[in-house]
Amino acid sequence: MIQLNQHTPVRDLESIREGDRIVLRNGKSDEVVKIQVVCNKGQKQYFYKLRHDGTVFIAK
Position 26 confidence tier, pLDDT thresholds 50, 70, 90: confident
Q: What is the mean pLDDT of residues 24-29?
A: 87
What is the Rg, in whole angstroms, of the alpha carbon atoms belonging to the chain? 11
Cβ partners under 8 Å of residue 42, min gap 6: none
Distance of CA 45 to the CA centre of its chain: 9
For 28-54, the pLDDT digits (tens) are 899 999 999 999 999 999 999 999 979
Q: What is the mean pLDDT of residues 18-31?
A: 92
Distance (Å) of CA 8 to CA 4, 44, 52: 6, 13, 22
